[in-house]
Amino acid sequence: MKFLRLSFAVAALAAFFTPARAADSTATLVLDATKPGPVINKNIYGQFSEHLGRCIYEGLWVGEDSKIPNTKGYRNDVIAALKELQVPVLRWPGGCFADEYHWRDGIGPRASRPAMINTHWGGVVENNHFGTHEFLDFCELMGIEPYVCVNVGSGTVQEEMEWIEYMTSDADSPLTRLRKQNGRAQPWKVHYVAVGNESWGCGGNMTAQFYADNYRRYNTFVKNYGANRIQRIAGGPSDFNYEWTETLMKSAAKQMNGLSLHYYTLPTGVWSAKGSATEFGEDQYIATLSRTLKMEELVTKHSAIMDKYDPQKKVGLVVDEWGTWYDKTPGSHDGFLEQQNTLRDALVAALNLHIFQAHADRVTMANIAQFINVLQAMILTDKETMILTPTYHVFEMFKPHQGATSLPIALTSPDYALGENKIPAVSASASRDAAGKIHISFANTDPNKPTTVACTLTGVTAKSVTGRVLTATAMNAHNTFAAPHTIEPAAFTGAKLENGSLSVTLPAKSVVMLELN
């Protein structure tokens, strides 16, 4: 078996090493804590909230008069669940919705706010009761950094400029007086602004050069007021559109702090028949994991283009839409993108987070789509009831990686194969937190058998190991409102630490997080 030594924490990915023989059920991992890598930006664990289906309304916002227990209109159960996740950053108001959203419609007394048709998502009426104040107050309540996407597709430069001033200026101006009239005396802190969304598609069907020129123009009027300093994120490519990245970096790299990337995982790879979220066999299980591992190729190749124009890595790669996308839940609204969330999704989450951490020198933010009731959600609600998904549990288990220093690992793995599909069975990532504790996360993609990982630890003085595991008997195991605890983390006893060596037996189709003490 061969393995590749890397300079930072890395997932075990097909593009990174030569896999072991299929018959070999043992993986090896070498961790060198004496050669720390870059810091894992906590914003890699970011979330995304769009005015889409029941993400905002009922998912997060129910209003102060709702019978559902709430604080200032925000669901108390959702507040508690999200606080447990330590969400670092939240993207809003879209998504495709952002490029038809006009911020002035969402301020002032709610009863007098004009309604609009949400043409992208179901043609439903949007009452604009959740607007700038509601979003930014929620972020402030939760200690979350807001990430605001401005309207380039159907908006104007003036509209964008005035919105930034309304949110962040402390000067005495008509816009700040309007903000105060609407109940907010002090400006908010808004450190992340996206200049448009998917401008190659729903955000305007622009060419790369046309958007690059517009980005430079719009960016000019994203002003810094007072002590507020804004990181500008340019609208980047969809999946394999490397020409878009080339054009944007060549034309506007010096004017941006980040470049976005969008990639969704479909079991079939066919948008018209994506596949079921819960009714699938092993063929679609491995196809989903195989396709999600394409994220490694995307991050690597887009990063290489960025390196040409930004060798000092001043521009971050911001993967602000990612996750699984299945056929809608039967019986749900056509435009609401509701789907269940299974153990398969938990593995998808772990694999992608490992990839982002492996590229911590370039990936500065990622925002899974979306945080409540839409696509690969953390939380599902049904009126007054709420459940947590397997993906939520992975984000919660991986919290110690947020803001920690990545540690280099060298990993070999047996294959997990079915038919023509073949992927590494094991993925892993390691980090050291501010308190000096080392955490190693694993994913075993093989749904049929456990894999033992023999770990060699250099520069580690741990005396004990503890851990948690997320797994289930069935690959499509998921939580329902009738059975909300079908799949959730449990204590892990499959790790043994002896004489500086660590042995870990990963159950089939599992995610494991270890802490070395």
Which residues carry out catalysis?
Answer: 198, 321
How many CB atoms are located within 10 Å of the residue 281 CB? 11
Give the DSSP H or E segment for 90.
strand 89-92
Q: Are 355 and 13 in contact (CB under 8 A)?
A: yes
- Residue 123 tokens, joined: 């043609």
Select from 51, 59, 93, 99 the least CA-distant residue to 75.
59
Using CA atoms, how far apart are residues 436 and 429, in angstroms rounded to an integer? Answer: 16
Q: Are 406 and 85 in contact (CB under 8 A)?
A: no
- Residue 427 tokens, joined: 């993925």
Q: Are 512 and 441 in contact (CB under 8 A)?
A: yes
Q: Are 262 and 452 in contact (CB under 8 A)?
A: no
Using CA atoms, how far apart are residues 491 and 510, in angstroms rounded to an integer? Answer: 13
Select from 145, 146, 38 the least CA-distant residue to 362.
38
Helices 208-220 and 157-168: crossing angle in degrees, nearest 10, is: 40
Using CA atoms, how far apart are residues 378 and 440, in angstroms rounded to an integer? Answer: 22
Q: Tell me, letter by letter, the H, E, C secondary structure of 216-285.
A: HHHHHCCCCCCCCCCEEEECCCECCCHHHHHHHHHHHHHHCCEEEEEEEECCCCCHHHCCCCCCCCHHHH
One-letter amino acid for residue 365 of the chain? M
Q: Are 215 and 158 in contact (CB under 8 A)?
A: no
Select from 299, 325, 511, 288 the least CA-distant residue to 421.
288
- Residue 9 tokens, joined: 């924490």
Backbone torsion region of residue 381, taken as left when φ is above 0, otherwise alpha when ψ lies between -120 and 50, otherwise beta? beta
Using CA atoms, how far apart are residues 489 and 466, in angstroms rounded to an integer? Answer: 13
User: CA angle 485-139-118, nearest 5°?
Assistant: 85
Please state, in angstroms and as integers, the Cα–Cα distance from residue 265 to each residue in 122, 202, 291, 323, following that order.
22, 19, 6, 6
Mapping DSSP to helix (H, G, I), strand (E, B) and coil, where does residue 357 land? helix
